[in-house]
Structure 1
Amino acid sequence: MLLFINSIAGSEIVVILLFVLIFFGAKSIPGMARGLGKGIRQIKDASQDIQDEIRRTTTDMKRDLNVNQALHDAKNTLQAPVKDFTNNLKASATGVDKNIKGILNDGGKNSIEKSMEAPIKDFKKDLKETATEIDNNIKGEVKDNPKTTSTESSKDVNSDRKPDQENLS
C-alpha cells in the first residue's frame, strides 16, 4: 500500500485529502484514519508472520538437508569397504570361474597333465640321480675291497639287490 505513495506527487495527495474531507466530512476522518492505521498494522503483522514462517520453514529445510547430507556421507563411508570387498570377491570368483571353465573345456586332461608335468620330471630326475648314486656307491665298495674277485663281488651285490633294483641299473 505504501508502494504507490512513492509514485504520487504532492499535489495529487492534496487533491485526494480534499476529496476525502468533502466526501466523508470532518467528523469521520479521525475514525477512518484510526481504522486505516489498524488495517496497515494488521497487514504489516501478517506479512511479518508470513516472512517468519518462511524463514522457519527454510531453516528446517536446510537443517533437514544437512541431516540428509550427513546420512548420505555416513552411508557412503560405510558402503565403501563393502563395495571393495564385493569387487574383490567378484574378481576372485571370475578367476576361479575361468580356471574351472578351462578344466571343463578340455575335460581336465591338459590342465591336470600340465600341472603334474613339472613334479613328475623332478621326481624322475631325483630317482635317476639316486639310482646313479647308489650304483656308484656299490662300485666304490667293490673297488675298496680288493680281496674279493670281480665275479664274487657282483654275485654279492646281486644277491643283496631286490628284483626291482636290478632293472634300474
Structure 2
Amino acid sequence: MFGIGFSELLFVLVAVLMLFGSKEIPQMAKFLGKTMAQLKNATNEIKNEIHSSAKDTGLDMNSLTGGISDEIKKAKEGITNSINPLKDMSNEIVDDIKKPIQEVKEDIENLSGPIKRQF
C-alpha cells in the first residue's frame, strides 16, 4: 500500500495518537473527509466548466482526448510487444507444445495398459 509496510503504518498511527490524543482524531478525520469532498467537487466543477465552454465554442472534447487516448494505447501496445514479442503467438506455442505431450501421454497409457492389467 503506497510502499508503506504494516510496521510503518502502525508507527504513524501510534505517533498520531500520541500527538493529538484519542479525542482529536475523529475531528481530524471528519475535517480531512470534508476537505477531500470539497476538493473532489471543485475538480469536478472545473472539469464540467471546461467541457461546457469547449462545447459552447464548438470544440469536441471527446475527439481531442480520444486521439490522445488512442496514441497512448498504441504506445502501450508497442511497448508490450517489444517486451514480450511472443504474446500474440503464445496460444499457438502452447497448442504446439500440448499436442506432442498429449500424444506421448496417450502412448504411455497404451503401453502401460497391458502391464496394469497383469497386476
TM-score class, shorter-chain normalisation, is 0.3 to 0.5
Q: Which has the higher contact order (CA 8 A, sep 6+)?
A: 1
TM-score for both structures, normalised by structure 1: 0.32
Larger Rg: 1
What TM-score do the two structures reach when normalised by structure 2? 0.44
